[in-house]
Amino acid sequence: MTTAAAGGADEAPPADTQARGGTSVPAPRKPGSGQPPTRKVPSRKSVTGTRRVIAALFLLPALVLLGALVVYPIVYSVYRSFFDQAGTGFAGLDNYKALFSDDTIRTAIKNNAIWVVLAPTVSTVLGLIFAVLTERIRWGTAFKLIVFMPMAISMLAAGIIFRLVYDQAPERGVANAVWVGVHDTFSESAGFPKAHPLPVHPLKAAGGGSFVTKVPVRAGQPVQLPLVGVLPAKMPSDAKPARAPATVNDGKITGTAWLDFTQGGGGKPNVIDPKELGLKGIKVEAVKDGKVVASATAGADGTFTLPAAADGAELRLPASNFKEPYNGVDWLGPTLVTPGIIGSYVWMWAGFAMVLIAAGLAGLPRELLEAARVDGANEWQVFRRITVPMLAPVLAVVLVTLMINVLKVFDLVFIIAPGSSQDDANVLALQLYRSSFGTDADLGIGSAIAVLLLLLVVPVMLFNIRRIRKEGRR
């Protein structure tokens, strides 16, 4: 008893205390004991269990960077947009009024609207089509890889590629080479643009770009139709040396159409020299009283034969022989430059849309699709009423991402659009660059454009945040 009383360290805690967490916390008093219950209040902690001060210290570097790289530029841009070009005079809303009164900036706003509507929609639709179709083909993975490969190319490189693709000259621009090839397949093309006779030749101008013989032709008298002004590069590759036609006695009209020019000199006018080539493919018409009574096409050596009905007629080389050849479409002209650049953007980003949609497609419940097919739905009905509605969240992600990306497109427009069409292809990001840099830089206008871009992005971001929250509550 004495030892227990003396050992303070070994004394048992009073009956009115309880050990909690290594500390003695007074237990609640019974009612009527006269002393209120006392408890130790724990320090406040965050949701993760970390003390708020420690959490704030860890977040401080990130907050400093966020403020320096995001918040400060936004605030300063808004502030600077209310000042004039020099930055010393308060301009009020004048810079914002200029956005909607300046023709160049209004064109940029209009083009941005076209971009936001067309580019994400076309990219998403193509991505959806590619993702659905490649599910059922044997080489689907290889096809997806090919479609996705442009994503590995920078905007700068893609711009250079499509600047060449859209080149006006068919021998350099792939787009015009294909277009001209298709056109020439269904429409006859001219063979000898800018060809014409010399004054000493037996031909004269007949109006409308055609040429006729100075005197009517007669059977048994070979007709000469010499021309000059055809570049050697424009001559048919299979043209042969010109020769005089064979003599015939059946009343037919024969003749030769040739290039009356000898490279290196030495040739004589109206004489078929050995080095002169026939105008293969040139069309010859026999005209009597303003009506065409016969026609023929010259062979590789330039010779042609007309029936006896041409006797006494004038021979005419119609204007179709000399019109300028079809040179394709001016893809980078004022009319088509914006759709052309959007096409290059779709080429790059359709693969991105396809990969995301294919990932969502892989997660669809197959039993639901099979059940619809068993119930009699065809593939189009399954696609329209089941696949697309179930892919709606993924499609929304793709559309929102591409819309945000499109609002700040700059590289493609700057590189692809030539100087003569850059105003017609202008977008807000490009106008922001042009207004903010250079000798005529107006940082007030540039800051106003930056604020406008921010305001255009905010609704899309709010929609995206709302969608993410909605998805999280499911």
Please list the rounded mean pLDDT of every run of 10 residues in the chain (474 residues).
Answer: 43 48 50 56 56 86 92 92 88 90 91 94 94 84 89 91 91 89 73 87 90 91 91 82 82 91 82 90 92 92 92 92 83 93 94 92 87 88 90 91 91 92 92 85 90 89 82 72
What is the pTM assigned to this prediction?
0.71
Please tell me the predicted confidence (pLDDT) of residue 37: 58
Please tell me the predicted confidence (pLDDT) of residue 141: 84
Q: CA 259 → CA 202, 207, 232, 314, 318, distances in Å?
A: 14, 21, 10, 20, 17
Distance CA(474)–CA(467), nearest Å, equals 11
Please tell me the predicted confidence (pLDDT) of residue 42: 56
204 phi, psi to nearest 5 deg: -140, 160
Nearest CA to 217 out of 312, 344, 104, 78 is that of 312
Q: Supply 16's token pair.
A: 């009115």
289 phi, psi to nearest 5 deg: 55, 35
SS3 of residue 448 by DSSP: helix
How big is the chain by its Cα radius of gyration, in Å? 41
Please tell me the predicted confidence (pLDDT) of residue 55: 83
